[in-house]
Amino acid sequence: MIRSQGYPSRPAWRVAAADATGAVHVAKQMRYEDAWAVAPAYALHRDGSPVVVAVADGHGHARHFRSARGAELAVALAARRGVVAASDLETATDIGHVELTLRNVLAPAIVDAWREDVHHDIAERPVTLPELAAAGLSAAPTAEDLLYGYGTTLLVAVAAGAWLGFLQLGDGDLIVVAPDGSVGHPVPYDPRLDGLRTTSLCQPDALESVRFGVVDVRAQPIGAVLLATDGFGNAHANNDWESTFGTDLANLSAQRGVEWVVEHLPEWVRECASANGSGDDATAVLLMATGTTWQGNHADDLRMGSDVLVAASEPPAGSSGPQHAATSSPQHAAMTPAHHAATTPPNHAITPAVPPQSAPARHRRGP
């Protein structure tokens, strides 16, 4: 990536979020099992900083019988806890402090609070016998079985001051795009994510499986951040779709403007979730840094004209999917480590001091 002239040292961010129920889920009459949240909610409509966004993908396997709820709980608390962490990161002066805050404060708080929220959810809405039967569980499930039922991935981005902090547990895509369209992966690769299984909030050693990343935008200007569930990435035909996505995003932002990009994200996500794409639930959140001088070029726009177009005439996911009996989708099941080295992180007693106007925008859908 190259240093961009005129890039703000403390950018504000505009957030766009979109989701679509996968064509497979529609055909099987299954509910949307992803979730997303943005805090503060006004970032969806105007520029702001700090901003926290979270995306989650509830596991599709039958054993994870309440994974959609698990995903909702995860993004909601990640947004709330993330806002608290962001207020600290805004004034941070060194990258080490940012990383420690993510690793030692935010991640443990999310993992602990998610487990508590799951227990509260079960207490409020006890698991029924039909649910247990559908999950292949006995009538007397263990506490671990029940926690497993809420299994979900989680991707979080905290944009505060000069910092972009990331944490990711499980699969999905988290990429940063420089003003010149080059793409970076701020979070380390996890070789355990083989397309069939994923690390998860429900596993005993969830905290040890969280991956972290920090970017100092003063040294490495970032024009956009994409967080997406795997239903978005799996729709793309090319193995290296992220690079093309970065180039295309830079071109589109330069030539048509950020507002155009924000307006069209829902259309892109619908296409990805359609039968022409992954057929899986797709969710994507874009953070666009205001003040970015995007470096697109006309030649690439011409290439796009013949290479990066999809048919809009296809029915959008969720509109008219045929009711077929058999479908295909990756069967995500959380990894279940043989050992149960549960970590008990210190209780940081973080109080989510989120003022009413900063309440996260949280996505909820009924079945």
Partner 1 sequence: MAPYGTDPDDDTRVVLPGGGIAKRPMHFIIAADGSYSMNGEKMQALNFAIATMLPQLVEWERAQENVRVLVRAIKFDNQATWHIETPTPVADVRWTPLRCEPRALTHMGAAMRLMASVLTADRLERRALRPTLLLVTDGIATDDFEAGLAALLATPGGSMAMRIAVAIGPDARREQLAAFSDPGVEVLRADRADQIPDLLLAVSIAVGRMSEVRADDGALVAGLRTTTSERPWS
Binding footprint of partner 1 on the chain (CB under 8 A): 22-28, 30, 60-62, 136, 194-196, 233-239, 241-242, 244-245, 248-249, 252, 264, 267-268, 271-272, 275-280, 304-314, 321, 324-331, 333
Compare residues 77 and 228 and give the one whose CB is closer to partner 1: 228
> Residue 25 and residue 330: Cα distance in Å, rounded?
12
**Smallest distance from partner 1 to CB 25, Å:** 7
Structure tokens at 191: 């070789």
> Residue 8 and residue 35: Cα distance in Å, rounded?
31
Compare residues 311 and 341 and give the one whose CB is closer to partner 1: 311
**Smallest distance from partner 1 to CB 229, Å:** 13
Compare residues 49 and 229 and give the one whose CB is closer to partner 1: 229
Compare residues 61 and 362 and give the one whose CB is closer to partner 1: 61
Compare residues 28 and 119 and give the one whose CB is closer to partner 1: 28
**Smallest distance from partner 1 to CB 96, Å:** 33
Return the SS3 of 57: strand
> Residue 116 and residue 207: Cα distance in Å, rounded?
15
Contacts of 319 (CB under 8 A, 6+ apart): none
**Smallest distance from partner 1 to CB 127, Å:** 17
Provide the b/e sequence for 7-38 (b: ≥16 CB within 10 Å).
Answer: bbeebbbbbbbbbbbbbbbbbbebebbbbbbb
The length of the chain, given as a count of residues: 367
**Smallest distance from partner 1 to CB 3, Å:** 24
Other CB atoms within 10 Å distance of the CB of residue 300? 20
Compare residues 121 and 173 and give the one whose CB is closer to partner 1: 173
> Residue 87 and residue 313: Cα distance in Å, rounded?
45
Return the SS3 of 200: coil
Helix axes 241-256, 298-307, angle to 10 degrees: 120
Return the SS3 of 242: helix
**Smallest distance from partner 1 to CB 268, Å:** 5
Compare residues 4 and 234 and give the one whose CB is closer to partner 1: 234
Contacts of 323 (CB under 8 A, 6+ apart): 27, 29
**Smallest distance from partner 1 to CB 326, Å:** 5
Compare residues 42 and 241 and give the one whose CB is closer to partner 1: 241
Other CB atoms within 10 Å distance of the CB of residue 263? 12
**Smallest distance from partner 1 to CB 162, Å:** 27
